[in-house]
Amino acid sequence: MTWPPSFTCVVHGSTALPGSSAGSVAEPRWRLAGAVDTTDSPHARLRPVPIHAVTMGDGFWKPRLEGNRTAGIAAFLAWLDEDGQVAPFRAFAHYARTGDPSRIPAALDTMRAVFEGRNSRRIRHSWRAAVMKVVEACAFTLQSVDDPDLRALMDELVTGIVAAHDSEEFWRGYYGDDFENSYQLATPGHLIQAAVAHHRTTGETNFLDVAVRVADAIAAKYEGREFAEHPCIEMALVELWRATGEERIFRLAAHFTALLMEQEPMIGPHTGKGRWRHFNCHVVRQTYLPAGAADLLAERDDPALHAQLHAIWQDMMRAKLQVSGHIAVDHWMPERITPEPFALTEGALGNVLDHINHGFELCESVGNAMWSWRMLMLSEDAAYADQLERALYNSLMPHVGLDDRSWFYLCPMLSDGDHPNRNQWGNPATGCCGANAVRFIPSLPSYMFTTSDDGVWVHLYDACRMDWHLPDGSPIGVDVRTRYPWSGRVELRLDVPEPEEFTVHLRIPGWCDGARADINGEPVADPITRGSYLALRRTWTDGDVITLDLPMPVVGMDADPRAEEFHGKTALMRGPLLYCFEGIDNAATGIRNLAVEPGAAIRPFTPETEPEALYQPAADVQAFLPHDRPDLLGGVTVLQGPAAGRGDGADLTAIPFYAWANRGPTPMTVWIDWAAEEGNRGR
């Protein structure tokens, strides 16, 4: 193989394509794409709304996006600089600007030292994609905010990456002769994703050219012969094809995705030999690969692949999912999916070999959200949006410190107060986890809304405004006012220049019973069903207001009875948020001895009823009341109520699970006892 391969890409369309959701809107093609681009995907039912079309208001997510921009990116980049991972790109950027190559030899030696374990920070590891994730984070952020310093940083890194790929020595050192140093193609996969994000933000193609060259080099090695071991490359290649229209790139994506058909129709089978067995049961690989398969299904009809993907999803949702939205893992290694259905204790109840090094991986949370979103785009099924929301609030954000500059690699649901603190790098061997949060969080505005042939869809609720267009090109604005997730009242005001008939689809979360809606003060007569979309079709006029009321009682979630070690236990939720108890708030009662009284039954599991999900809201916990605490943990609603069996009137306090471990070391638990089950108390 000649290093580096030579190729220049041609961007797929410079303006809106005929028949696309852009209609007559004469914008450059790259401006139409969301974080996932199904604009012209023939088998996707939903079309993206770009990040730049959504302005976040003073709600839950804006401070986290701002914190990621002002603190998170810089903190993680500082660690990368200290670790030596940015050095080659800074050196090549200097060379591109000045023509002076003097810094390059030392920078390449620094790169080799990092990957060979010759520096003081890391063990030897082939992961080397964190810089690419920083570029992706910068690109997505710049779609929301004009930040000159962040633009300068992105430009420097991209200049260095592009220049580095003209160096044979860099290629060999960074990827290896046969990509053996690229963490089973995850490194080039993330480079491609960063290049696509950069293109969708700037319209520039220099980084996209490099991505195509890298894809061609991968094809020369793998096409028709081998598979990637660590998925990521599949999603990346489909998006690169969407940006360039190069069919050979799509064929390569299909080749790698075909691996999904070779496993049993379940999540994380512990089968195969050697490295393939590890591949099959790895939590990140088993979310990234299905996400890539969903991308492929948006572009071509493949009933067998669709059936396989659905079966894997169902196995996860019905038997191998934590109440937080994390995938359940086994007790030998926190990156491996449990081989047994309903084996949910690891990381949740504390039955582990190493009670400190346990929990659930941040990267899997990101992969799970990506997979859920892609399945939603294919199907319009609210179950996928429910899992997306669950993953965002309860499995992704617990990893992210409220300082927005520290991250857990592993996040448990039970701790004696000795769990490792969040830090700047997450996993010290790779640094992949913090980078995954840093690059995913700024893409969130693109997950709020979509469009379809018949109208607009609202998937996630937060204070924000969308300014976009309907399928026929007519402009539309949707102004959302809400305190969600603290309050279930959502008000949506429509801005349309002329009266127009279309459908507004509003998600009714699966956790919500008794939702109500009205239009301009008139109640909606249509039935409103939880776990679905309320479709409101009419001729809308400028200023029409839809009000949605989503009741948020405090409920106790019970696990499927087949998860035997959870008998007599419950986890408190209010709305979309999972709650936990920290020792700092409940010093009078040991964390492992908490119990609450159930109130009215809601949807308990019964022997006669096939469970519709792995967890059910079994009962109202009526004695626990929500209290707004704007002074606590960045502003939260806490739950307070009596501890069962205590006569001293002492109250228990629960905080949102995402906010735990932000006040110093303290014990914590999510699962507590129902008071009626004395025999199970104090596990």
348 found inside a domain: yes
Task: Please indicate whether residue 207 or residue 429 has the higher confidence score (pLDDT).
Answer: 207
CA–CA dist 373, 395 (Å, integer): 15
Count of structural domains, the chain: 3
11 found inside a domain: no
CA–CA dist 344, 165 (Å, integer): 45
72 found inside a domain: yes
If pLDDT is split at 50, 70 and 90, which confidence band does 13 have? very low
478 touches 493 (CB < 8 A): yes
> Which residues constitute the domain of residue 632?
554-680
Structural tokens at position 620: 């109202």
CATH code of the domain in which 526 resides: 2.60.40
Do 168 and 297 reside in the same domain of the chain?
yes
pLDDT score recorded for residue 274: 52
Residue by residue, DSSP assigns 67-80 as HIIIIIHHHHHHHH
Q: In angstroms, how far is CA 392 from the centroid of its own chain? A: 6
pLDDT score recorded for residue 644: 85
CA–CA dist 558, 605 (Å, integer): 8
pLDDT score recorded for residue 21: 38
With a CB cutoff of 8 Å and minimum separation 6, the contacts of 46 are 38, 376, 377, 380, 450, 451, 452, 457
> What amino acid is encoded at 468 in this protein?
W
> What amino acid is encoded at 253 in this protein?
A
Positive or negative, the CA dihedral 158, 160, 163, 165 is: negative
Q: How does pLDDT run across 415-466, given as a tens digit for each residue?
A: 999 888 898 876 666 667 788 999 999 999 999 999 999 999 999 999 999 9
- 300 to each of 250, 304, 618, how far by Cα in Å? 11, 12, 41
pLDDT score recorded for residue 430: 66
3 found inside a domain: no
With a CB cutoff of 8 Å and minimum separation 6, the contacts of 28 are 14, 15, 203
CA–CA dist 440, 470 (Å, integer): 26
4 found inside a domain: no
CA–CA dist 44, 224 (Å, integer): 28
336 touches 282 (CB < 8 A): yes
Do 522 and 625 reside in the same domain of the chain?
no
Q: What percent of the chain has pLDDT over 90?
A: 73
Q: What percent of the chain has pLDDT over 70?
A: 88
Do 296 and 328 reside in the same domain of the chain?
yes
pLDDT value at 647 more than 60: no
Residue by residue, DSSP assigns 569-597 as EEEEEETTEEEEEEGGG-TTS-GGG-EE-
CA–CA dist 533, 519 (Å, integer): 16
pLDDT score recorded for residue 678: 41
Size of the chain in residues: 683
Task: Please indicate whether residue 643 or residue 292 has the higher confidence score (pLDDT).
Answer: 292
Q: Which of 475, 446, 482, 358 is nearest to 408 (CA)?
A: 358
pLDDT score recorded for residue 122: 57
359 touches 20 (CB < 8 A): no
Of 166-175, 331-340, 463-472, give the lowest mean pLDDT range: 331-340
- Give the residue from 549, 580, 595 where a domain finishes: 549
pLDDT value at 609 more than 70: no
199 touches 243 (CB < 8 A): yes
If pLDDT is split at 50, 70 and 90, which confidence band does 14 have? very low
Positive or negative, the CA dihedral 589, 591, 593, 595 is: positive
Do 281 and 150 reside in the same domain of the chain?
yes
Which of 3-12, 503-512, 670-679 is the most confident on average? 503-512
CA–CA dist 630, 621 (Å, integer): 23
pLDDT score recorded for residue 396: 97
Secondary structure (H, E, C), 471-494: CCCCEEEEEEEECCCCCCEEEEEE
CA–CA dist 267, 278 (Å, integer): 13
Give residue for tokens 């699966």. 510
Do 429 and 453 reside in the same domain of the chain?
no
If pLDDT is split at 50, 70 and 90, which confidence band does 554 have? very high
Do 431 and 498 reside in the same domain of the chain?
no
Neighbours of 621 (CB within 10 A): 25
- Mean pLDDT, rounded, for 124-143: 90
User: What angle, rounded to 10 degrees, do the helices at 206-222 and 247-257 form?
Assistant: 50
Neighbours of 340 (CB within 10 A): 11
pLDDT value at 397 more than 70: yes
Do 437 and 582 reside in the same domain of the chain?
no
pLDDT score recorded for residue 276: 57
Do 360 and 425 reside in the same domain of the chain?
yes
525 found inside a domain: yes
Do 308 and 411 reside in the same domain of the chain?
yes
Q: Which of 60, 26, 136 is nearest to 397 (CA)?
A: 60
Q: How does pLDDT run across 135-181, given as a tens digit for each residue?
A: 999 999 999 999 999 999 999 999 999 999 999 999 999 998 888 88
pLDDT value at 642 more than 80: yes
Average pLDDT of the chain to the nearest whole number: 89
With a CB cutoff of 8 Å and minimum separation 6, the contacts of 646 are 589
Which of 252-266, 268-282, 660-674 is the most confident on average? 660-674
Q: In angstroms, how far is CA 330 from the centroid of its own chain? A: 22
- Mean pLDDT, rounded, for 610-626: 88
Long-range contacts of 34-38 (CB under 8 A, 24+ apart): 34/446, 34/450, 35/140, 35/443, 35/446, 35/447, 36/239, 36/295, 36/370, 36/373, 36/374, 36/377, 36/446, 37/200, 37/239, 37/242, 37/243, 38/298, 38/377
Do 443 and 453 reside in the same domain of the chain?
no
pLDDT score recorded for residue 225: 65
Do 458 and 500 reside in the same domain of the chain?
yes
Secondary structure (H, E, C), 351-386: CCCCCCCCCEEHHHHHHHHHHHHHHHHHHCCHHHHH
Torsion-angle region of 520 (φ positive above 0: left; ψ -120 to 50: alpha; else: beta): left
- 470 to each of 201, 461, 500, how far by Cα in Å? 22, 20, 10
Q: How does pLDDT run across 91-107, given as a tens digit for each residue?
A: 999 999 999 999 999 99
Helix, strand, or coil (residue 304): helix
CA–CA dist 249, 268 (Å, integer): 27
CA–CA dist 410, 399 (Å, integer): 8
Do 285 and 386 reside in the same domain of the chain?
yes
Of 226-235, 348-357, 412-421, give the lowest mean pLDDT range: 348-357
**Which residues partner with 344 through β-bridges?**
none
Of 82-86, 350-354, 527-531, give the lowest mean pLDDT range: 350-354
- Give the residue from 549, 569, 588 where a domain finishes: 549
495 touches 477 (CB < 8 A): yes
pLDDT value at 75 more than 50: yes
Q: Residues 27, 33, 34, 39: what is their CA dihedral angle, to the nearest 10 degrees?
A: 110
CA–CA dist 372, 394 (Å, integer): 14
Task: Please indicate whether residue 114 or residue 414 has the higher confidence score (pLDDT).
Answer: 414
- Give the residue from 549, 565, 583 where a domain finishes: 549
CA–CA dist 415, 349 (Å, integer): 9
CA–CA dist 201, 195 (Å, integer): 10
Tell me the whole-structure pTM to 2 decimals. Answer: 0.93
Q: Write the DSSP symbol of residue 235.
A: H
CATH code of the domain in which 346 resides: 1.50.10
592 found inside a domain: yes
Q: Residues 642, 643, 649, 654: what is their CA dihedral angle, to the nearest 10 degrees?
A: -60
295 found inside a domain: yes
Largest CA distance in the chain: 78
Q: Which of 268, 264, 293, 295 is nearest to 283 (CA)?
A: 268
531 touches 509 (CB < 8 A): yes
- 63 to each of 56, 68, 408, 411, how far by Cα in Å? 9, 8, 19, 22
Structural tokens at position 380: 């319009």
